Amino acid sequence: MAKKKSSLSQARGLLYGLARLLGDMSAVSKGPKATAKRVGRRAAGKATGRILGRLFK
């Protein structure tokens, strides 16, 4: 059975999610070039995180 997250952890996760959403909205308002940069950087960050996660398992 999985351990239940603390309310502080849940709140932090919610805040990070909102920050990510606000960053997306900001990029969209700046135009397609900024949105493309953001999407590319997020994809690169996810790929890097996966590789490092496998490396340091």
Whether residue 3 is predicted with pLDDT greater than 80 in this model: the reply is no
- What is the arithmetic mean of pLDDT over 4-26? 93
Residue with tokens 């590789």: 51
CA distance linking residue 23 with residue 28, whole number of Å: 9
Residues 6 or more apart from 24 whose CB is under 8 A from it?
Answer: 35, 38
Q: How does pLDDT run across 19-56, given as a tens digit for each residue?
A: 999 999 999 999 999 999 999 999 999 999 999 999 99
Residue with tokens 């849940």: 10
Whether residue 2 is predicted with pLDDT greater than 70 in this model: the reply is no
At 1, is the pLDDT very low, low, confident or very high (cuts 50, 70, 90)?
low
Q: Which helix (H) or strand (E) holds 15?
A: helix 7-30
* Cα 52 → chain centroid: 16
